[in-house]
Amino acid sequence: MGRLNRRSFMKAAGPASLMPALPHSLFAQAAGAAGPRVIEEVVPPPPEASVKPKYSIKFAVIGVDHNHILGITAAMQRGGGQLVSVFSPNPQYPKTIADFKARFGDVKVARSEDEILNDPEIKLVCAAPIPDQRAALGIRVMKHGKDYLVDKPGIITLAELAEVRKTIKETGRIYGILFSERLEVKAAVQAGVLVKAGAIGKVVQTINIAPHQVNAPARPDWFWDPARYGGILCDIGSHQVDQFLYYTGSTTADVTASQVANVHYPQHPKFQDFGDVMLHGNGGAGYVRVDWFTPDGLGVWGDGRIFILGTDGYIELRKYADIAGRKGGNHLFMVDAKAQRHVDCTNVVLPFGPQFVGDIVNRTHVAQDQEETLLTTELVLKAQKQAKLLTFTS
């Protein structure tokens, strides 16, 4: 046949024309005739007694510029915290006090930051102001004898990190950063339980794929400026580096290589919409890819996944969606020497809130290891600083 006749024939025949070229085993596997059966499991609901918080503290909020403050506040209330007051140092940005009160009721609006910092009954300040204001606020909070829980990125320069470390040592206070993609995701919590129990042997590597939806019309000016939010690796990459350290059990680590790019937003020339980083630690290796390319068709803000490779098996998390067809999020897949499993983690109880409140009362670090939090921050700041800037011209 001539070239045009061949092309017309193949178009008319469709995929069926390719079937003789494919091995029979592929069709058997696709039809479910080969390979082990996937075991479906559901994590059972916990006893009612384990859900109730053991401790109670009073806390306040300073800074509502990112809506992550809603999740932070809810976590502390779930853990036994009593919300006393709220103050916004940046009332000009869209996430206003009115939005906050719509979620948490008629909470008292403080007249100033000092009103909160000088209230001896308030033991904790939660915060989500513009990222370049977060470290300085945390230092003031700790110097007033209070603990601090801030949205990520909690620190955006190495100079800030040095000052935070110095203030922690001087005051003995807690500087918490809520890495919600591990601490507030049920599948991630269950993965931690399995890894710590040795279900997949020794962890060798983590691979984090973390796409995000940019939702450009809703973003304030500071969102597009790395000098204000720290850059893509410092910002959303901090979630992923936290998971690398936690699942590999690494207590020391460094950056192997990193790179960033602005692929799709020439109108915001300083913005970074793609980044990745390779890591190595004393507990394993890690790779992180972050981006702002989640398409509207997904239906959620990001198809976040993590792959945890162990010597005796592996785990995959599909945190927020499963494009293979299962409904909802919090899907955990595990393969070991015995079986393939899909675990529905919907019933997992999130422990961070009660544990963090308990840490404030008992002066412990159960909810979040302080040194691990600071090491996460150090790694993303180093990765951001040394990242190669990619340009794609074709």
Q: Please identify which residue in the block is written with the tokens 């696709």.
A: 30
The answer to whether 307 and 244 are in contact (CB under 8 A) is no
Sheet holding 81-87, edge to edge: 108-109, 81-87, 57-64, 122-128, 147-151, 175-178
Pairwise CA distance, residues 157 & 135, whole Å: 9
What percentage of the chain exceeds 90 in pLDDT?
85
Amino acid at 281: G
pLDDT bracket for residue 90 (50, 70, 90): confident
- Whether the upstream peptide bond of residue 153 has omega within 30° of 0, thus cis, is yes
What CATH architecture does domain 182-351+382-390 belong to? 2-Layer Sandwich (3.30)
Domain with CATH 3.30.360.10 in the chain: 182-351+382-390
The distance in angstroms from the start CA to the end CA of the chain is 35
Q: Give the tens place of pLDDT for each residue, 108-153.
A: 999 999 999 999 999 999 999 999 999 999 999 999 999 999 999 9
Domain covering 48-178 assigned CATH 3.30.450.20 in the classification: no
pLDDT, mean of residues 75-104: 88
DSSP characters for 301-340?
S---EEEEEETTEEEEEE-S--TTS--SS-EEEEE-SS-E
Question: In sequence order, what are the residues at sequence separation of 6 or more whose Cβ sits closer than 8 angstroms to the Cβ of residue 318?
Answer: 187, 303, 304, 305, 326, 329, 331, 333
The answer to whether 334 and 43 are in contact (CB under 8 A) is no
Q: Give the tens place of pLDDT for each residue, 9-60.
A: 334 344 333 333 333 333 333 334 455 678 999 999 988 766 789 999 999 9
pTM reported for the whole predicted model? 0.89
Q: Give the tens place of pLDDT for each residue, 299-343.
A: 999 999 999 999 999 999 999 999 998 999 999 999 999 999 999
H/E stretch holding 58: strand 57-64
Please tell me the predicted confidence (pLDDT) of residue 85: 97
Please tell me the predicted confidence (pLDDT) of residue 35: 59
Please tell me the predicted confidence (pLDDT) of residue 394: 84
Pairwise CA distance, residues 115 & 338, whole Å: 59
Residue 206 backbone phi and psi in degrees, to 5: -120, 140
Q: Of the candidates 285, 154, 297, 296, which has an alpha carbon nearest to the alpha carbon of residue 208?
A: 285
Q: Give the tens place of pLDDT for each residue, 214-251.
A: 999 989 999 999 999 999 999 999 999 999 999 999 99
Pairwise CA distance, residues 124 & 122, whole Å: 6
Pairing of strands 340-344, 331-335: antiparallel
Residue 293 reports pLDDT greater than 80: yes
Domain with CATH 3.40.50.720 in the chain: 48-178
More confident residue, 295 or 13: 295
